[in-house]
Each structure stands twice: as structure tokens, then as C-alpha cells.
Amino acid sequence: MNTQTKSGKEYLDHIALSANEKAELVSYVNQLENGKILEIGPGAGTALAEIVRCVEAAFSPEKRPEIIVFDVIADVFERVKETVGTTDVKLSYVVGDGAKDLPFESNSIDAVNLSAVAHECFSYGGGYSGIHRLAKECGRIMTPEGILTYRDPDGIELHTMEEARLTKPLARRFLAYFLPKFLDRTHTHLKEKVDLGYLETLTLQLDGNLLNIDELINLNPEVLEKGEMILRGKAGLIHEIQRHLILFAKEVGGIKMGKDEDPDSFIDPLNRRESFTINSPEAIAALISFLETENIAFTQESGKFELTMSALNLYYTKITAIAALYEENLTLKDETKQILDWGTREGEENYFYGSCEEVIARFAHFSLIKDGNGEMGYSCLSPISTDHIRSVERGKHSKFLKSQLERTSEDALSDRKRHIHFAKLPLEKAFPVLLNYYRETRHPALLETLQALMFILKEFTGTQADLDHLTESSGQGVKGCVDLCSTLVAREDITHGVVAVRSLLSSPHLGLIGGIASGKTTIGNILNKHGYQVVSFSDFIRDELNARGVMNPNREDYFEMANSMRRTHSRDILARLAIKKVVGEGMDKFVFDGMRNPDEIDFLKRFIKDFILIGVETATEERIRRVQVRLRDIDPTDRVKILGDIDREFFDPSPDGCRLSQVMSLSDVYVNGNLTPEENRTFIEDLKLPYPSII
């Protein structure tokens, strides 16, 4: 079974088995005469086949809409074509790059189907920036009043602490197999959520004794046959573990989860230790040394190694690499390969399972576009109405979870799918829908989006947004945010592109990020006058260049040296040097300037309490003008070279390089970098610090 890729036949077969209600778009097909439908991420093609059948039935051949199928993996299309079968509906297949914009013209697509796609964009598309890019691009390519159907697993709020009792051996052994690799940040994609305290708050008990990860790795399967195992941690982490347990049980354990099926009747694929054989004495000695260094419990006799599946899963890549050095190949059972393949394809992923409220808030916020639509000329993706927001329980999955775990709340073991019908609505139509949904849910993410839209309403129509209903929200943070928003709305002189007030800063520990000539230095100087000591990451790079004899470096030298330092030491090396400086000099109030790699942000947010990241948003043309005017030694003056530096800084293909596109998406607050130094000073000082978040 090829489970290692998303295009494997068996993987697509599994996807097809759970395709009920995937083609949510079909109820809107009769509105799409001679239009264009876009299917993103078709999987096995089951949902697409349903849309095709509906188009065939609803339209005569000359009036049928065209269907475009988009994926980043060309191999899936062969299976999709088999599933769809023979049809005279016009179908075209497009392969794209997940790191780039969708390859379609603006205002060209009448309907988009997103079925089980958004969580993949999170995992493989750079975390939340992948979700934001998806929303932005869908908003761009859709026609006015165009339709988008969204279907994905429902999520829960991440921050609350929860407890799960693993009542069955399958769940306990799965945790021992899955958790060490999932939490090892060299393997998994936890970087986007590590600031939520996942790792710091997680505890695991077996029969009343606390376990660390090393102990968990070495537990024999027989030990997990009985006894009480309790997992405590953030609700979001436990929810993701439950989702992975469901996937593993279905895809590897063969549990079909039918209503009459008993999960205990299936063979547990993890109920054994794993073995493999190596012949070369040198390879045997090297592998023994490695396993002993990593404190892995194992037995070895005549080159036959035996260890737990958890240990093999975590160190499989290193073990195979050691064997390959001596021209040895590991001989593994087919079922073991299947488990390890799953651990690579799914077991390392940290997916986006947000709540309905969070999904709607992010899609509305990041799809906002000035497109001339409606009276105000602005559109965004919004549910058609609150009736078009549904969360549906998947009963078979919930039944399986309840057979394996016990949770404080029965709802915590409810596995659900969300169905949201979006439309690209003029802002004046979208705002009332989002406002009504906020009134129903009181969710802070929706509040943030409403704040953004209210500034658009006022700036472009003169409408005085009514904030009275928002002040009923609980929590001083929300109340304070609304009060500040009201103050800014009333002021006539705050007109410098302010779009949203999102949160208040009260932290002595800040970070400034932004592109070349975005205004970071100017804002840093203003903060310095307010008692913040500025720690520039560029200083550490310059020091290293000088130490190597490069005394008058240009910008290319800075790029290459930063990449070299991250590659040689670690991608967070500059953040580590910054922390060393802060601690060594006893700084209490500081601002870091110039982070450009996501690992740097990850490190700072893990080790600094109340760290607030400020993104400086500045128009490209303004940045080019500043570079040409300021005449710094490191800057080129040619426009083409300046644009080249801006592009390289925004997204370097090397993971060790500048990834400003990802870093900016991690900002807690944003400020408008297009202001003059005097406007910046007046704006900041008038607000007396803390700042508003301006997007």
C-alpha cells in the first residue's frame, strides 16, 4: 500500500469512501449557465463526478458550464478521470505550484469547490499564511456574487486545558507510536502553534506515574495492554491527536467504522515489537552506537535488531541512513512499511482544524479586495447567510472515539464536519451577515474582522459604524479594543490608511518585522525614545561578516551570510544570539528588529513571555523610492535590482533563507509603514502606547 503520497491509489480509495456530501456545490449548479466551476484538490474525484452528473442533468450541451480541476500533484488526475468516466462536459486539468498564486485571471471563476482542502493548505502551504493565501486567491479569481463551498473537519478552541483517558490498548499504543515524532519539531509542522504552549503544558501519566518522551518511546506494547494512561494538554493538541487516531485506525488498522462494527474486533497493528536485520559488522556497530546514544531500548543478536514501533517510527530515517552508509538495506515486513509510510505521510502533519467562527473570520478578512463591486467597490468572502453555516457530526467517528477515550466533556469526543457556503459579496451585503453571526457566537476572531470592515465602511462611505452592540462582549481585552476603535473612528486626523484595530499592546518585549525600507528603523527609533532598547539581527550578521574580513558588505553579502549561519548552526541562530545579548546585558524592555525566517519567530515566542510581533506593511513603490533616496552603501540604486532584493527577501526558495511572506503572517499586530517619520511619531505618541493593530 503506497500511503506515502497523496496520489497513491489506496489513499484515493480511502478518500472516496468518505465522499458523502462532498459535492456541496451541486445545489448551486443551476445558477451557472455557461460559467466556470473550479474544483481545487479533487482527491479521488468522487465529488467532481457528482458535480459532472449534475451539470449533465441540468443543462443542454450548449449551455453547460466548464469545469476546471486544479491540483499541485499531476498524478491524481489519472484516478480522477477514471472516477468521472465518460462525459461530454468540458473538463480541463491544471497543475499549479502551491507556493504561488492560483493560475487564473481575476473575476474569472463563478464557483469554487473546496472539499477537505483547507487543512492541507495549512500543513503544506506554510501554516496560517497558507490559509490566508487560499482565501485571498479565491476572493481574487471569483466573479462578483460567485459561490464557494467549503467542507473540512470542524475544530475547537485551542487554548483551554483538557484531559483524555485512553481506555483501550489501541489508543494507548497509538499514542506511544505517534506522539514522540509528532512533537519532535525536526519532523512535524508544529511551528505555527508552538506559541500556544503545546509542548510546555503537555503531561502524560501511566498508572499514576509521569512519563517523559524517552520513556514513552521505549514502552513495550505489552505494558500498554492494561493500566490507565492519561493525557493532559491544550484542547487543540488533544483534538488533533484524536483526528490522527481516526485516520490511522481507518487507513492502517482497516477499521471501517460502520454502525455495527466493534473496534475491539480488529487486529491492533501496533501490538508487537519490530525487527530488522543488518549483515555488515561495521553497520551493526554504528547502529548500536547510535541507538545507545539516543537511549533507545533494543535487543540485537547476529545483526537482528528488535525495538518498539515508536522508536523505529521516530528514528527510521536515521537508521536507514546509517545502514546505507555501509550499503545495507533494511528488510521490513509489509505491514511495518505500511505503518512507517503512514507515519511519514500523515503522522508528521499539524493540520488546521479551526472552528467555524475562525474559518469565516479568516476567509472574510483575507479575501477583502477592492474590485469595484457594489456601492463601495469592495468585496469579501462571506457566508450567504447564517443558515449556510453548518457543523455536522460524523456519528461513526464519534462512536469510535468514545470506544477508545474518555474526556471531561462528551462534546470533546464528537468528530464533526463543517459545511460553509460562501459568496463573494459586496461589503455592504457581507457586513450584516458577519455581524449577525458575531451576535450569535461572540467569537473574538469575528470581532477582529468586523473591526477591519468598519473602517472600510467609514472611510469609503462615511457610514458611522455602530459599536454599541460590540461593547456587550465579555472580557476586558475585547472591551478595551472596542473603546480604542471607537476613539480612532471619531478622530478626523487618523486617515493614514488605517484599516483595523485588533488588539492592545502592553508588553515590554516587542519584535519588528518588515521588508527592505519598510520603516522598521524609524519605528524602532521612536520606540527607543520610549525606553525600548533596539536589538538588530543585522548587527549579528555584520559582526560575522567583519570577522571573516568582509568590511564593507553589500546586501547580497548579508543575504548569503545569514543563510550560511542558519545552515551551519540552526535556522534560529540569530534569535539565539539576540536572546544571549538581552540576557547578558540585563535588558528589561527591548525590541528585536529584522527577523526574516519563521524559525526565528518560533524560538522567540517560545522563550519570551508576552512577546508581541509587529508587522510593518509598506507599499512596494514607496520602499523603492526610499532605497533610491537614502543612498546606503549596502543598497543598489537600480530599480530592477531593488525589486530583485525585495522578491528574494519575501520568499527565498531555501528553507534557510529569508521567508518574509511567512514571517509577516505570524504578526500579532500591524502598522502602516507608508507614513512619514513625523506622522509615525505623532501617531504613536498620540496613542501614548500601547499601539493599535493596523492591518
Cβ atoms of residues 488 and 501 within 8 Å: yes
Q: Per-residue pLDDT averaged across 558-568, rounded?
A: 89
Percent of the chain with pLDDT over 70: 76
Quick check: 131 pLDDT over 80?
A: yes
Residue 310's SS3 state is helix
Quick check: 491 pLDDT over 90?
A: no
Contacting residues for 4 by C-beta, under 8 A, at least 6 apart: 341, 344, 345
pLDDT band at residue 257 using 50, 70 and 90 as cut-offs: low
Q: Per-residue pLDDT averaged across 413-437, rounded?
A: 86
The DSSP bridge partners found for residue 406 are 165
Q: The pTM is what? A: 0.61
Which residue, chain included where needed, has cell 467532481? 48
Residue limits of CATH 3.40.50.300 in the chain:
509-686
pLDDT of residue 200: 58
| Residue 581 CB-half CA count within 13 A | 17
Q: Per-residue pLDDT averaged across 103-124, rounded?
A: 86
Look at 282 and 445; give whichever has higher pLDDT: 282
The 10s digit of each residue's pLDDT in 24-70 is 676 676 677 788 999 999 888 888 998 898 888 888 888 899 999 99
The 10s digit of each residue's pLDDT in 157-177 is 555 678 889 988 888 888 888
Quick check: 21 pLDDT over 60?
A: no
Q: Per-residue pLDDT averaged across 81-87, rounded?
A: 93
Q: Per-residue pLDDT averaged across 330-347, rounded?
A: 81
The CATH number assigned to the domain with range 509-686 reads 3.40.50.300
51 phi, psi to nearest 5 deg: -65, -45
The 10s digit of each residue's pLDDT in 172-194 is 888 888 887 777 655 554 444 44
Cβ atoms of residues 670 and 615 within 8 Å: yes
Closest of 321, 430, 420 to residue 371, by C-alpha: 430
pLDDT band at residue 506 using 50, 70 and 90 as cut-offs: very low
pLDDT of residue 266: 57
pLDDT of residue 67: 94
The rounded distance, in Å, linking the Cα atoms of 686 and 689 is 8
pLDDT band at residue 7 using 50, 70 and 90 as cut-offs: very low
Which residue, chain included where needed, has cell 543585522? 538
Q: Per-residue pLDDT averaged across 148-159, rounded?
A: 77
Highest mean pLDDT among 74-88, 199-213, 330-344: 74-88
**628-638 burial, b for 16+ CB within 10 Å, e for fewer?**
eeeeeebbbee
pLDDT of residue 193: 43
The CATH number assigned to the domain with range 9-156+353-438 reads 3.40.50.150
pLDDT band at residue 12 using 50, 70 and 90 as cut-offs: very low
Residue limits of CATH 3.40.50.150 in the chain:
9-156+353-438
Secondary element (H or E) of residue 422 = strand 416-426
Closest of 659, 628, 534 to residue 99, by C-alpha: 659
Contacting residues for 397 by C-beta, under 8 A, at least 6 apart: 246, 257, 415
The DSSP bridge partners found for residue 153 are 417
